Amino acid sequence: MSRATPIVFVVDDDVSVRKSLELLIDSAGWQPETFASAQEFLSRPRVLAPSCLVLDVALPDLNGLELQKRVAVDRIDMPIIFISGYGDVPMTVQAMKAGAVEFLTKPFGDELLLNAIRDAIARSHAALDQEADMQVFGERYLSLSRREREVMALVVSGLLNKQVGGELGISEFTVKAHRGNVMRKMRADSLAELVNIAARLRLAAPRWEDPAAFVGNVHRKNVDVSSSCPGPGLGVDWERQTECMYALQLPTDGLDRCRHRAPLSTVLGGALGCD
Residue 275 has pLDDT above 70, yes or no: no
**What is residue 210's DSSP assignment?**
S
Confidence of residue 267 (pLDDT cuts 50, 70, 90): very low
* Res 236: pLDDT: 39
* Res 231: pLDDT: 35
User: Per the confidence metrics, is the pTM higher than 0.75?
Assistant: no
Ordered strands of the 51-56 beta sheet: 31-35, 7-11, 51-56, 80-84, 102-105
Say how far apart CA 272 and CA 265 lie, in whole Å: 7
DSSP letter for each residue of 130-150: HHHHHHHHHHHHHTS-HHHHH
Q: Give the chain's domains with CATH numbers.
A: 7-131 (3.40.50.2300), 135-268 (1.10.10.10)
List pLDDT tens digits, range 111-157: 999 999 999 999 999 988 888 888 899 999 999 999 999 999 999 99
Closest CA relative to residue 71, chosen from 36, 106, 88, 47: 47
Rounded to 10 degrees, the C-alpha dihedral 217/220/223/226 comes to 100
Residue 216 has pLDDT above 50, yes or no: no
Residue 253 has pLDDT above 90, yes or no: no
Rounded to 10 degrees, the C-alpha dihedral 80/85/86/92 comes to 20
Residue 217 has pLDDT above 90, yes or no: no
Residue 33 has pLDDT above 50, yes or no: yes
Averaged pLDDT for residues 83-111: 82
CB 244 within 8 A of CB 237: no
User: Higher pLDDT residue, 263 or 176?
Assistant: 176
H helices then E strands: how many in the chain?
13, 5
Say how far apart CA 158 and CA 110 lie, in whole Å: 53
* Res 256: pLDDT: 37
Say how far apart CA 83 and CA 79 lie, in whole Å: 13
| pLDDT more than 70, % of the chain | 72
Sign for the CA dihedral angle at 239, 245, 248, 251 comes to negative
Total residue count of the chain as it appears in this document: 275
